[in-house]
Amino acid sequence: MDSSRILVVATRNRKKGIELSELLEGLPFEVRTLDFYPDCPEVIEDGETFEANSEKKAREVSSHTGEWVVADDSGLEVDVLGGEPGVYSARYGGLDDDHSRNQYLLDKLAGRPPEERSARFVCCATLFGDGKVIYQVRATCEGRILHTPRGAFGFGYDPIFQPDGFDCSMAELPPSEKHRISHRGKALREIRNFFERHK
Q: Which is catalytic among the residues 39, 46, 72, 73?
A: 73
Residues 133 and 161: their CA atoms lie apart, in Å, by: 31
Q: What letter would DSSP give residue 85?
A: B
Q: Do 118 and 162 contact (CB within 8 A), yes or no?
A: no
| 73 catalytic per annotation | yes
- SS3 for 173-198 is CCHHHHHHHCHHHHHHHHHHHHHHHC
Strands of the chain (E only): list them.
6-9, 30-33, 68-78, 118-129, 132-145, 161-163
Contact 181, 159 (CB under 8 A): no
Q: Give me the active site residues, please.
A: 73
